[in-house]
């Protein structure tokens, strides 16, 4: 089966490689040639535009940074809708604003193209091993039609409701992740300043009620001073902007989200925007004047 894939960043590249390993023929497009070359080496076929991808493939996946990028790629010049056939399916796996998903879906419907929004959680490690959590909005029959494709890239795929519900669910996820990393950073700075080895604190509490997937993934990075991006600060700023905008629109109070957003904005201004969101710990290190690091064995 032929698939199109547009957007070959940190997440897109390993997702394409997993599709190739599963036996799909994948035609790809990205504005960065080096990204295209990397997946072509793995067996993908390069296209010259999003329009060309849609002409070649009836199922097209997009994995792009934010709402304006998806709108441009789908609805713009040389975009997906210029090349798509009636009956094609667009799977937008980008994390964007729910209202943007609805707008794009309406444009697709006018061209006879079906669409689901299917953002993911898990970052680069889970994109690599094909165990992403996928949250889906759109017609349930379309979800069922592409379920096997989604499960090549994910460990789970859950239908959450109508178009935009996937991205609403992703916003909830991103709020929880950001607040969790901030709480972990705050707690481990407390232990560090109190003279208790963070590694021992981690070993003692990770199996209890405070334990979480976020703690397991991010504490080893923080204590090693490793902020190589699996999910960048700047992308989390984008997601929390969308969460705050959506919250304001529906009347949902998000005071803790707003507080963490200020931390992320401070880190961006300090030049940390391209680092992993575990670098939230750097905000606390700056305030406290010390680093959260494990003792040498």
24-39 pLDDT per residue, tens:
999 999 999 999 999 9
Please report the sign of the dihedral spanned by the C-alpha atoms of residue 240, residue 245, residue 249, residue 252: positive
Q: 2-163 — its CATH code? A: 3.40.50.720
The ranges of the chain with pLDDT < 70 are: 295-297
Give residue limits of the domains in the chain.
2-163, 168-288
pLDDT at 296: 57
Residue 71 among the catalytic residues: no
pLDDT at 295: 64
161-176 pLDDT per residue, tens:
999 999 999 999 999 9
Q: HEC profile for the chain?
A: CEEEEECCCCCHHHHHHHHHHCCCEEEEECCCHHHHHHHHHCCCEECCCHHHHHHHCCEEEECCCCHHHHHHHHHCCCCHHHHCCCCCEEEECCCCCHHHHHHHHHHHHHCCCEEEECCEECHHHHHHHCCEEEEEECCHHHHHHHHHHHHHHEEEEEEEECCCHHHHHHHHHHHHHHHHHHHHHHHHHHHHHCCCCHHHHHHHHCCCCCCCHHHHHHHHHHHHCCCCCCCEHHHHHHHHHHHHHHHHHHCCCCHHHHHHHHHHHHHHHCCCCCCEHHHHHHHHHHHHCCCCCCCCC
CATH ID of 168-288, from 1.10.1040.10, 1.20.120.10, 1.10.645.10, 1.10.3720.10: 1.10.1040.10
Task: Report the candidate in 255, 241, 284 with the shortest Cα–Cα distance to residue 100.
Answer: 241
Rounded CA separation 149/161 (Å): 19
Q: What is the radius of gyration, based on Cα positions, of the chain?
A: 20
Q: Which of 17, 55, 114, 170 is catalytic?
A: 170
pLDDT at 123: 87
The residues facing 29 across adjacent strands are 6
Whether 2-163 and 168-288 share one fold: the answer is no
């Amino acid at each position: 089966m032929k698939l199109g894939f547009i957007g070959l960043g940190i997440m897109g590249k390993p997702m394409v490689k997993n599709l190739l390993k599963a036996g799909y023929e994948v035609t790809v497009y990205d504005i960065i040639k080096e990204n295209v070359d990397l997946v072509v080496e793995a067996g993908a076929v390069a296209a010259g535009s999003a329009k060309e991808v849609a002409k070649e493939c009836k199922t097209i996946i997009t994995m792009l940074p934010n709402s304006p990028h998806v709108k441009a790629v789908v609805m713009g010049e040389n975009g997906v809708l210029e090349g798509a056939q009636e009956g094609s399916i667009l799977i937008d796996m980008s994390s964007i604003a729910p209202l943007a998903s609805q707008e794009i879906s309406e444009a697709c419907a006018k061209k006879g193209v079906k669409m689901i929004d299917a953002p993911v959680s898990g970052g680069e490690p889970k994109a690599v091993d094909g165990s992403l959590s996928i949250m889906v909005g759109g017609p349930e029959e379309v979800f069922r039609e592409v379920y096997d494709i989604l499960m090549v890239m994910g460990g789970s795929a859950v239908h959450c409701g109508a178009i935009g519900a996937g991205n609403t669910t992703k916003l909830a996820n991103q709020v929880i992740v950001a607040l969790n990393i901030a709480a972990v950073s705050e707690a481990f700075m407390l232990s560090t300043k109190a003279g208790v080895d963070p590694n021992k604190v981690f070993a003692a509490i990770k199996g209890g009620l405070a334990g979480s997937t976020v703690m397991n993934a991010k504490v080893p990075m923080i204590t090693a001073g490793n902020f190589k991006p699996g999910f960048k600060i700047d992308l989390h700023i984008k997601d929390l902007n969308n969460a705050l905008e959506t919250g304001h629109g529906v009347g949902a109070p998000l005071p803790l989200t707003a507080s963490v957003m200020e931390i992320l904005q401070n880190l961006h201004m300090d030049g940390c925007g391209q680092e992993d969101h575990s670098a939230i710990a750097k905000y606390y290190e700056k305030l406290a004047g010390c680093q959260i690091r494990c003792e040498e064995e």
